[in-house]
Structure 1
Amino acid sequence: MGAGAPSAAHGSDRGAFPDLIVIGAAKCGTTSLHHQLDLHPQIAMTREKELHFFTGGRRWERGLDWYRAQFDPRAPVRGEASVTYTAFPKHRGVPQRMHDIVPDVRLLYIVRDPIARIVSDYVHRFSDGLEHRPLRDALEVLEGNDLVERSRYHLQLEQYLAVYPRDQLRVVSLERLRADPAGVLRGIYRFLEVDPAFASPRLHDVWNPTAVKRRKGPVARALYRLSRTAPARILSPEMRRRIGLVLYRPFSRPIQRPSLDDITRARLVDFLAPDAARLRALTGEAFAEWSV
């Protein structure tokens, strides 16, 4: 760890560390999974999703006391979810920082069709004003492109398997979670060693509904940043989301979901196929619903 990094030394009287971390992937249903896990009486996920602590930067500099304070020490299993934990090579050193602090944590990685994830991530960035190019132009270069690298799931997992044993990692797919949420969650519960028989009546709730995407203008982006500041966090994430929808709408415009042209799609398939094959070999899963 570099100068100024938090010390790994800690005592149980100073708070709690997580037993579970959902490490991504972005645009793969981590918000729904976060809430579904939180329904289990033996699991307490953080109130604020996306702590980004191990990504580095300002959150990391807040230190271990801040990080511990995000978790309920009374819960048998404590968890958090941050999609930037699988954004190599943009964010480097995440698994190493994580292993220094929580070497025994269970890691959960939710994935989806790699190309569908790329398109969804592009739309998200475009709507937030972080991307301005047409989709085809944004994918002109594939190697080293953050949009694409986050869909190289095996590459992301390689970073973790360099420091964590395989049995501390579980990979699930969004397609399977949607098709059989009860079955997938039972497998996760067993992985976490909590009661696998638990079944919530809210299992099929939609926590992050897909609506018509809107591109935020400068005012909308400023309002969004304001909603992420400390005073606004006294409200629940869902309440902030609802208020945000009301505030942003007058300062945004609807956008159409783009479609991939055949040439770009073929380039993506060729580029991503080797990584997808390695993921299948690692997990033993067919991921039959995928286009890669």
Structure 2
Amino acid sequence: MTTTVTEPEASGKGPTKQLEELLHAHFIKPDDQTSVAGAGAIYLTEVTAPGSNRRADVVHIGLWQSRGAGRIDVCELKTSRSDFLRELNDPAKAEAWWPYSTAFWLVVPHLSIAGPDDLPAGWGLMVPSGRGRRFKTVVKPAEREPRIDIPLLVTLLKNTETVRTNSLGKVRTDLVNQAYRREQELRRELNAHAVNPRTVKRLELLDLLEEALGERLDTETWHDRLSAPDAASALRAFVLGQKALTESRKEMERRAREFDRIRESATRAAADLRAALALPAADQLPAKEA
């Protein structure tokens, strides 16, 4: 996986924010950042040094042994050469956090902003590795035992509470977004399976058919249910029988009409024959003698 800092227009975030999010993932895995079990470390941003108005971009404190328990890494993030040079001209900013840190880091997206030869004595230098979430250490920092006093604890606790609140807000936002995405998926599924008017009409006809049969159609035969294959076979036989009966009735009616035409034709022929033979009509013949 390649991790790069892009232009603000491409990501919707400034390059410093992008670099800070990558650094967060370097210190604490994304899944652990909102884990109920905790991350084993505290990651704070924009933290003011005790007794000063100087702020560190990032302060990371290890809590578990596997996360460097008791270690305090203070990081200064720079995304432009000019900003880094201004930092060099204002050493008081780093000095305010120096005694409270195990190590002081300069973090840049690439070495064109600052290289090993540009660093003040004792500073470390990190850049994104381009592979995975872990940063590459270009220069190891000098390390010391950090000063732990009441002002530092108050500062860290105050910022930790802010981070906790922000984390809860992030969890809430993530849950809302997940619920919204799921709702949209369900809507798309419902639309994909929406019953069209033709299907509705066919279902209505099926209801009428079941009512006429006095049976329910189902995929299995059970009690008062009629299986679809049996219903189809019976309906086919019934329809074919009805069709044959209708055809027979039509044929009989056709033949009856043909017989009527033949009878009418024979009657006219008989009349014509009598007339031709000048035979008297039946009612004009002389009566038989008694």
Same fold (TM over 0.5): no
**TM-score, normalising length: structure 1:** 0.29
Q: Which has the higher contact order (CA 8 A, sep 6+)?
A: 1
Higher helix content, 1 or 2 = 2
Higher strand content, 1 or 2 = 2
Q: Give the number of the structure whose alpha-carbon radius of gyration is greater.
A: 2
